[in-house]
Chain A
């Protein structure tokens, strides 16, 4: 089965700096990689995703990159703000048959004002 590793487990940055979270996956069949943000006491929410036919995707201050050969993908947050403080989960799945989603362990991001 799929195995997703995520690091770092915690990350502290100064407001305005960039934050990068990295994940690796094991199953070369995985072709869909979502990222979720979970604020304290709330459910995870999808913030961005990328499919295997794309190397990079950007949405305002958030970007995700994918390297299929190396089986790793990363989340980049620029110009961080205190409201970016949350736990971020990467995930991997194969979209061809409603396969289950495997999540990373999560990264607790703290943005220091």
Chain B
């Protein structure tokens, strides 16, 4: 299975600031997604990170609030902008697809997550 790393693993931020989360994968993957998991809740898809083009956002999420970059097939960033306490959550990088690392088609692999607390 692919090795996925996220940085930072956790952070405590002040209201109104922004945080950029990085996701690094050890193999080239076609599809990368960013999910949010609020305390005690399920996994909500924020957007699909498209390599070389603008991310595809789900209903309720916009680029101004959650800008995403995907410069290549192994790296992506998610920025949480102008944060408020409601943004306190775990943010997860998830990947799927068949890459050079031997991932199974359609199996999802979750990054370790970034636990964000906004004061």
Chain A residues proximal to chain B, CB less than 8 Å: 32, 34, 43-46, 49, 89, 91, 93, 95, 98, 100-106
Contacts and interface: CB of A to CB of B under 8 A. Distances in A.
A34 B107 contact: yes
Interface of B: 30-31, 33, 41-43, 45, 48, 58, 92, 94, 96-97, 105-113
> Main SS of the interface on chain B?
loop
Nearest to B56: A100
Contacts, number: 43
5 contacts: A43-B110, A46-B107, A91-B108, A98-B97, A100-B48
A98 B108 contact: no
A34 B104 CA distance: 12
Contacts of A46: 107-109
Given A89-B42, A89-B43, A98-B31, A43 B106 contact: no
Contacts of A89: 42-43
B96 A106 contact: no
Given A34-B107, A46-B108, A98 B42 contact: no
Given A98-B30, A98-B31, A98-B97, A104 B42 contact: yes
B93 to A, nearest CB: 10
Contacts of A34: 107-108
